[in-house]
Amino acid sequence: MIYTSGSTGNPKGVAIEHRSLANFTHAATDAYGITDKDRILQFASLSFDLSAEEIYPALSHGATVVLRTDDMISSARAFLGYCADWKISVLDLPTAYWHELTDALSVEALDLPPSVRLVIIGGEKASADRVAAWQSKVGDTVRLVNSYGPTETTVAVTVCDLRADNLSVSGAVSIGRPLPNTKVYVLDRSCQPSPIGVAGELYIGGPCVARGYINRPELTAEKFIGNPFSGDPNDRLYRTGDLVRYRPCGSLDFIGRVDNQIKIRGFRVELEEIEQVLRSHEAVRDGVVVLREDPDARLIAYVVPNSTSAISSELRSFLKSKLPSYMVPATFETIEALPLMPGGKINRRALPEPKSAEVIGEMFVAPTTPLEELLASAWREVLRVKRVGVQDNFFDLGGHSLLAAKVVSIVNRSLTVGFGMVDLFQAPTIAALAKMLSQRVAEREGRSELERLLEEVAAMTEEEARELLDSESRINEAAAA
């Protein structure tokens, strides 16, 4: 049984049959060319279906599975160093983390270890700009594969080798073609096939389709339907809720969601569930939540306040007490009214572009030292806020682990004190972080001076050392007299 990414702490259990996992394992090993010589990094949490893609193809072919550590993701440099030390050949990464890694490769002039031959990404829509940046830096020396698949169809069902020559004219990143023994259908609202180039909902069939949801018969009946194109009464399709379209070449482009279910940081989220909690706050008359990708995915809450104005920090704390951290919006925008369509539905496309958020939370205390200003500048850039005070909490401003990695990358371009992501979790305010880093610099400089003196002493002859000790002794005697 694999659980989908739960949105309110109650994830749906999906009953995956052994034959489905076996079918995927065989298909994945062929698609990725897994052999007994591979060393595959087990990056994903065991609670994520992605972990099955890292473990079973490897073990079924005698490959080595290398477990990750928390320290290795503290920075891109640490991650690549770990991969080099363990001679990793295959990386299977969440798309969001791969985006950050790609940025670091370009900005920090880092290189992939020569042992890496294959990088698989998946879980979110890949950025065409990042694919182009990857190709510019890495080229085709390392195979880059974009994979797609819901938990309900056993991890992955389509794959695409991303090369410079297979981006569409619109810049869409293809999710490719189905794996062997998998059927995909692009259907309109009448369950009829959509023409090439026309968007439709993606339906998936074959042995990959799960048995259904545990103890959720109504939801199972809604999402797992009989295959209208098959005479076999046991042949079923899974309705993904994803909008896709066929390219003329037969590969698929991912467009978005049919409903308001989205994926952020690898978690599947129903926007309506966030909105329901948001609207339950006494200071909120109405509100909606949308996903913005500019360029990084973040949730924006648009709030129509009651006469008592809703305070961003208050709403953030309220939502954090009710929802997982990945469901708490990064920014809260106050508007007078929600834009409506003629039929009375909320026109989400007409919502204004989010402004650069004002500081929230603690009373603003400006940075006063060069180090504090450096940290504040990095926070403003990553969090896209107008100002940051030294007492503001990084995570209360919408920060999370992926943004923390980006801050680490920016700061380490100017500092050489070994600033890591763990430091930001331990000291989440600029004041605390600056104090920690200042102490680290002082300790390092103190060690450097001590090392210099020890080197001078080590270089002395025995006679010079005795003379130095005698001189020190005479000085001490004179001082005592």
The answer to whether 233 and 49 have CB atoms below 8 angstroms apart is: no
Q: Same domain for 268 and 297? A: yes
Last residue of a domain, one of 258, 289, 319: 258
The answer to whether 142 and 110 have CB atoms below 8 angstroms apart is: no
Q: Same domain for 268 and 251? A: no
Q: Same domain for 323 and 421? A: no
The answer to whether 389 and 364 have CB atoms below 8 angstroms apart is: yes
In a domain, 297, yes or no: yes
In a domain, 182, yes or no: yes
**pLDDT for 423-449, tens place per residue?**
898 999 999 998 988 888 777 766 555
Tokens at 146, concatenated: 């974009």
Amino acid (1-letter code) at residue 237: L
Q: What is the C-alpha separation between 204 and 2, in angstroms, rounded? A: 18
Which pLDDT belongs to residue 205? 98
Of 262, 259, 323, nearest to 293 by C-alpha is 262
Q: Same domain for 223 and 208? A: yes
Give Cβ neighbours of residue 333 (< 8 Å, ≥ 6 apart): 300, 301, 302, 303, 352, 354, 355
Q: Same domain for 246 and 271? A: no
Q: Same domain for 322 and 385? A: no
Q: Same domain for 292 and 398? A: no
What is the separation of C-alpha 61 from the centre of its chain, rounded to a whole number of angstroms? 29
CATH of the domain at 302: 3.30.300.30
CATH of the domain at 109: 3.40.50.12780
The answer to whether 187 and 228 have CB atoms below 8 angstroms apart is: no
Of 140, 141, 149, nearest to 121 by C-alpha is 149
Which pLDDT belongs to residue 316? 86
- Tell me 72's DSSP state: G
In a domain, 456, yes or no: yes
Which phi and psi (to 5°) does residue 34 adopt?
-70, 135
**pLDDT for 342-372, tens place per residue?**
545 578 888 998 875 544 445 678 888 888 8
Last residue of a domain, one of 231, 258, 285: 258
In a domain, 476, yes or no: yes
Last residue of a domain, one of 318, 350, 382: 350
CATH of the domain at 375: 1.10.1200.10
Pairing between β-strand 118-122 and β-strand 143-148 as defined by DSSP bridges: parallel
Q: What is the C-alpha separation between 207 and 201, in angstroms, rounded? A: 20
Q: Same domain for 207 and 270? A: no
User: Residue 323 sits in which domain range?
Assistant: 264-350
Which residue ranges in the chain fall short of pLDDT 70? Answer: 5-10, 164-171, 260, 266, 294-296, 307-310, 341-345, 356-363, 445-458, 460, 464-481
Q: Same domain for 336 and 395? A: no
CA atoms within 13 A on the CB side of 169: 3
Q: Same domain for 341 and 211? A: no
Give Cβ neighbours of residue 449 (< 8 Å, ≥ 6 apart): none
Q: What is the C-alpha separation between 477 and 355, in angstroms, rounded? A: 71
Domain count, the chain: 3
39 φψ region: left (φ > 0), alpha (ψ -120 to 50), beta (else): beta
The answer to whether 139 and 112 have CB atoms below 8 angstroms apart is: no
Q: Against a cut of 0.95, is the pTM above it?
A: no
In a domain, 396, yes or no: yes
Other beta carbons within 10 angstroms of residue 226's beta carbon come to: 12
Q: Same domain for 32 and 88? A: yes
Of 168, 173, 193, nearest to 183 by C-alpha is 193
The answer to whether 32 and 63 have CB atoms below 8 angstroms apart is: no
Cα first-last separation, the chain: 83
Other beta carbons within 10 angstroms of residue 414's beta carbon come to: 13
In a domain, 290, yes or no: yes
Radius of gyration of the chain (CA): 27
- Tell me 385's DSSP state: B
In a domain, 355, yes or no: no
In a domain, 151, yes or no: yes
Which pLDDT belongs to residue 359? 44
Which pLDDT belongs to residue 145? 97
Q: Same domain for 319 and 445? A: no
361 φψ region: left (φ > 0), alpha (ψ -120 to 50), beta (else): left
